[in-house]
Amino acid sequence: MKEKKFDILMLFQIIFVILVMAISIYGMFTKNNQSIPFLLIFMALIILILGSREYKRTHSLIGGIFYLSSVLFILFVAIKIV
């Protein structure tokens, strides 16, 4: 059985997930919609980390392009909201 390695990308992913959860809970309780662009930016960073981890694992260029295009679209939407 292969042992899972804990790397720096996983640490950043966990940190960004906690930030997204905190911003979401804050926005839900305060009804503050001004934090949505920050939420989208952190979600884009999570997807970027997921894509880089997946590329390191499988070396699939198609998956990397899919993740990168998703990140660029989310960042575009976040910038348009601001």
What letter would DSSP give residue 7? -
What letter would DSSP give residue 6? -
Would you say the pTM of this structure is higher than 0.75? Answer: yes
Report the candidate in 43, 42, 50 with the shortest Cα–Cα distance to residue 66.
50
Question: pLDDT (tens digit, 9 = 90+) per residue, 13-45?
Answer: 999 999 999 999 999 999 888 888 889 999 999
Is 47 or 3 the better-scoring residue by pLDDT?
A: 47
